[in-house]
Structure 1
Amino acid sequence: MSDESLVTTNEPLPCQNCDSILEEGFEFCPHCGQKTNDALTIGVLFYNTISNYFSFDARFLKSFAPLMFRPGYLAEKFIQGKRLLYLHPAQMYLFVSVIFFFIVSFSTRDLVQEANKINEKVAKSEFVSEQKDSLNQATDSIKIEKIMKPLKDNQQIIGLEDSDLKMADSLIKLETANPKNMNTSWDFDKRKVDSLVASGADNEVIYKEMGMSEDPSFLERRLYTRMLSLAKGQGAGSIVQAFFDSIPISMFFLLPFFALILKVFYYNKGKYVHHLVFSFYFFSFLFTVFSVLFGLNNFFEIESWINWLIAISTYFYFLIALIRFYRQHWFLTWVKSGIITFVFILFVIPTAIGLLAAFSFFTS
């Protein structure tokens, strides 16, 4: 064996990811962080997928217990600069919210089906009520005829003129008129619309019968499109589905608004981004709690008082988190937490729900 075969070379190797030159013995590239010997296996493939898209790594496991049992701790440590030890607040929120809406989707399917059933029943009951109204009108005519017959037979004896009989007939009809005959459930003649639908008329013709203008705007056309689907007994489910599909998007607006409210009440306690960090972790906690709650209710019948107790407990978590993070007296924090909760639940959330409902109605 020659001496040359015993000589080992210490030539630097390039990083497979960024091509930076690595010194011997480096396990990770100091420039991009990739392992120097990152052989592709099934395990590596799926770990990287989960880690990159869901951040399900050691940091999540380290962050989970503090998130659930140490209110305000993660936000406090992140502000202090410990940003690699625990999971990033936005990543935590994204991962937990995906799990939450996945679990809620099982309940959503049931609500969509129930909405479709109710919509169909309402549409059919309206048709049935119209049939009953027609029958009542025929019955009333028979009754009126029975009342008028003696008057007509004895017209000469009583001394009634023809004009008197007509007036009596009109008064009796007015008295016996059934207010239920008026079609008050819809803003259009549903009987005519049903006839047009049954005959296969073009939607434009039906829209005109429903009252759509000659040159409708986009919103007006969407309104009549949705009204027609509801009249057919088919549109409620899609509205409910669109509503729930829009919730994740709305949360990206509600969360920054929640942080803005915190900024107003704690204007001298750091920048807006500090309040945003707190909001990310707090909403992650809320989604985690309600994910567990929804998941358990899908498999077990939990008493309603237990559900309410758990929901109310999130307020006390919020109170403790505020005390830890903002370092103010507990009484002042208690007052502020009550006002913040009141404003957010009674004003912000209902407004968001109203906008979501309108958005779902016009876009579904």
Structure 2
Amino acid sequence: MKGTDQCKNCEEIIDTSFDFCPYCGQETADTLTFGVLFKNTINNYFSIDARFFRSFFPLMTKPGLLAKRFVNGKRLLYLHPAQFYLFISVVFFFFFSFTIRKVDDQMSKAIAEGFNQPIALDSLAVKIDSLGVEAAKNTLEEKAGMSAEEIRNIDSITVGSQKISGSSLILQKNMLDSLIAIGAPQAEKLKAMGKKEDTGAFLTKVYVQLLKLYEQRGGGIIQALYDTIPIAMFFMLPLFALLLKVFYWRRGTFAHHTVFSFYFFTFLFTTFCLLILANRFLDIPIWVEVLLFFSFIIYLMLALRTFYESNWIGAFFKAGFITFIYMLIVLPIAMVGVIFISFMLY
């Protein structure tokens, strides 16, 4: 005789012969093990199954085909574009983290050495200021008839609203170093940096970040930049989809352009992963990387022709214009934003 049991997830009464709950779909056997835990995690979030391989090879060899099939309704045979993008981006940033750690160590060491040495800009300013002071002293001696003793005691000269000083910049840096050494309050150190009492909240934050950068001698700034890039990429992808919408205004909705963008960025990240792995074993020359960049444009052209059913000439020029706008306008602005955000979150 069949018995009944209660589902531990939805608490509905079910038949004990069922392997899965007919109400919520959870497996009735409560056999949670370490292996099952991580298997479910991978399956749920990364979908590592046969669909991955059915999606990977067309992505790399048939530009635009996956996106076209997805928008045409074939959505269970292949990985969802967002899942595919998420998985490949996680793999890419995992590989990239090893490279960025080495770069971070090198950059942090170089920045620290720069902070510990006299700043070149300060030295240049001191030379210029010193020449200005000497020129002014000569003028005072010739025109004002001042004695040599009086002129020797002049350390700075104010001309209009500009004060010419040969040592103020060095004194300011030395004062800040002294305050840091004795553990002075932050307000005193910020004041030594030139912060005024009426400085607004935004500029105060900039002063605080500059002080932190100076105190830590730039350590970890590259890591902060690296941590900001994945967030920025989620904004970069919709911007690329927006460009596609501009050039293909009547060819599908914004969601269609987003699907194309997901697959195209997945292809880019996959190629970068392969490039990073190749760099671990080979010294790839720069001309190969240049050719690789142009291959992205060719891939985009082929993908546009397949997905939007465009002619060769239209796909060629639109691929060129999209790449030009994205690389020379969108990407530089985004990089400035990433650098600024990483600095403010440093």
Deviation of the 1:324 alpha carbon: 0.3
Deviation of the 1:227 alpha carbon: 2.1
Deviation of the 1:67 alpha carbon: 1.1
1:52 aligns with 2:44: yes
Report 1:82-93 matches (<5 A).
82-93=74-85
Specify which of 182, 201, 208 is matched with residue 199 of structure 1: 182
Residues of 2 paired with 1:288 and 1:180: CA distance? 56
Q: 1:17 to 1:217 in 2, by over 3 A?
A: same
1:355 aligns with 2:337: yes
Residues of 2 paired with 1:130 and 1:314: CA distance? 44
Quick one: which amino acid aligns to residue 206 of structure 2? L
Residues of 2 paired with 1:261 and 1:190: CA distance? 48
Contact 1:67 1:73 in 2 (8 A): yes
Deviation of the 1:195 alpha carbon: 2.6
Report 1:300-311 matches (<5 A).
300-311=282-293
Deviation of the 1:129 alpha carbon: 9.8
Residues of 2 paired with 1:23 and 1:229: CA distance? 63
1:62 aligns with 2:44: no
User: Which residue matches 2:307?
Assistant: 325
Deviation of the 1:39 alpha carbon: 5.5
Q: 1:191 to 1:336 in 2, by over 3 A?
A: same
Specify which of 86, 106, 111 is matched with residue 98 of structure 2: 106
1:260 aligns with 2:252: no
Quick one: which amino acid aligns to residue 102 of structure 1? F
Larger Rg: 1
* TM-score (normalised: structure 2): 0.80
Deviation of the 1:217 alpha carbon: 3.2
Quick one: which amino acid aligns to residue 224 of structure 2? A
Aligned residues: 323
Question: What is the aligned-residue identity percentage?
Answer: 44
Specify which of 220, 224, 241 is matched with residue 203 of structure 2: 220
Between 198-207 and 315-324, report the one with greater CA deviation.
198-207
User: Which residue matches 1:270?
Assistant: 252
Report 1:290-301 matches (<5 A).
290-301=272-283
Specify which of 112, 115, 126 is matched with residue 123 of structure 1: 115
List per-residue Cα deviations over 1:242-266 (Å, max 9, x = no partner).
Answer: 2111111111111011101101110
Deviation of the 1:241 alpha carbon: 1.6
Quick one: which amino acid aligns to residue 115 of structure 1? M
Quick one: which amino acid aligns to residue 212 of structure 1? K
Contact 2:45 2:83 in 1 (8 A): no
User: Which residue matches 2:160?
Assistant: none
1:241 aligns with 2:223: yes
Q: 1:130 to 1:11 in 2, by over 3 A?
A: closer
User: 5+ residue gaps in structure 1?
Assistant: 1-8, 138-162
User: Which residue matches 1:284?
Assistant: 266
Deviation of the 1:294 alpha carbon: 1.5
**What CA RMSD, in Å, does the superposition of the two structures yield over aligned residues?**
3.8
User: 5+ residue gaps in structure 2?
Assistant: 130-144, 157-163
Contact 2:108 2:221 in 1 (8 A): no
User: Which residue matches 2:135?
Assistant: none
Residues of 2 paired with 1:192 and 1:165: CA distance? 33
Deviation of the 1:285 alpha carbon: 0.7
Q: 1:12 to 1:63 in 2, by over 3 A?
A: farther
Deviation of the 1:219 alpha carbon: 2.2
Q: 1:243 to 1:36 in 2, by over 3 A?
A: same
2:219 counterpart SS class? helix
Between 63-72 and 206-215, report the one with greater CA deviation.
206-215
1:343 aligns with 2:325: yes
Residues of 2 paired with 1:259 and 1:33: CA distance? 36
Q: 1:127 to 1:12 in 2, by over 3 A?
A: closer
Residues of 2 paired with 1:211 and 1:117: CA distance? 27
Contact 1:130 1:181 in 2 (8 A): no
User: Which residue matches 1:155?
Assistant: none
Contact 1:89 1:280 in 2 (8 A): yes
Quick one: which amino acid aligns to residue 189 of structure 2? I
User: Which residue matches 1:211?
Assistant: 194
Deviation of the 1:362 alpha carbon: 1.6
Contact 1:319 1:337 in 2 (8 A): yes
* TM-score (normalised: structure 1): 0.76
